[in-house]
């Protein structure tokens, strides 16, 4: 009976962050499609000059980051198949792949779907992004998001972290749109 409970726990589907080396996301994405594994690549729209014309281009926010929703067993199989080309973000305590909570991933995907909100990639999740007041946005386009408030280039911005993976900053949020949560 214990063995079945352990097996069911291991077969549970979670979100994991994957670093794809050399920005070679296409072959990895094809394999995920082939195995019907749900994934999310944070995208944003940027203005680029192409042949003298300004064009809006939809491109990855972070060229080497993919989130997958799968079991730990299937994740290990993917890591073996793409050995040396991908690596999962790991939990520093035990070295196992870091599980991203569903609520956090849902909020992050929703944030990435918003257009023209000034979303900025800050880098890997680090302790300095967890300092200061923890807040919830109660008005405006970011209503419902939670994170920490930090001043970046003189603007008060919400830092949204994907635990152990990355930190992102939203555009300016007026103080009246925030409530401190404990």
pLDDT tens string, the chain, 182 residues long: the values are: 323 433 455 579 999 999 999 878 889 999 999 999 999 999 887 888 888 898 888 888 888 899 999 999 999 999 999 999 999 999 888 889 999 999 999 999 998 888 666 788 888 888 888 887 889 999 988 898 899 988 888 888 889 889 889 999 888 888 899 999 87
Instruction: Quote the CA–CA distance of 153 and 126 in Å, as a whole number.
Output: 19
Q: Which pLDDT score, from 0 to 100, does residue 65 have?
A: 93
Count helices and strands (H / E) in the chain. 4, 13
Which DSSP symbol is given to 21? G
pTM across the whole model: 0.83
Residue 85: its pLDDT value, please? 94
Q: Which stretches of the chain are DSSP H helices?
A: 2-10, 25-34, 72-81, 102-113
Q: What is the CA angle 140-143-146, rounded to 5?
A: 135
Burial class (CB within 10 angstroms; exposed 0-12, middle 13-18, buried 19+) of 129: buried
> Which domains are present in the chain?
1-100 (3.30.70.940), 101-182 (2.30.30)
């Amino acid at each position: 009976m214990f063995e079945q409970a352990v097996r069911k726990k291991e077969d549970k589907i979670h979100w994991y962050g994957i670093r794809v080396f050399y920005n070679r996301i296409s072959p990895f994405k094809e394999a995920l499609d082939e195995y019907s594994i749900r994934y999310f690549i944070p995208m944003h729209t940027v203005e680029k000059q192409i042949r003298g014309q300004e064009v809006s281009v939809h491109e990855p926010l972070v060229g080497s980051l993919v989130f997958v929703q799968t079991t730990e067993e299937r994740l290990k199989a993917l890591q073996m198949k793409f050995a040396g080309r991908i690596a999962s973000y790991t939990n520093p305590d035990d070295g196992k792949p870091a599980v991203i909570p569903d609520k956090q991933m849902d909020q992050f995907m929703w944030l990435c779907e918003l257009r023209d909100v000034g979303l900025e990639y800050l880098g890997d999740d680090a302790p300095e992004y967890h300092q200061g007041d923890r807040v919830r946005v109660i008005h405006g386009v970011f209503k419902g998001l939670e994170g920490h408030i930090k001043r970046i280039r003189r603007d008060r911005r919400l830092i949204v972290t994907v635990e152990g993976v990355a930190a992102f900053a939203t555009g300016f949020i007026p103080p009246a749109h925030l409530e401190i949560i404990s």
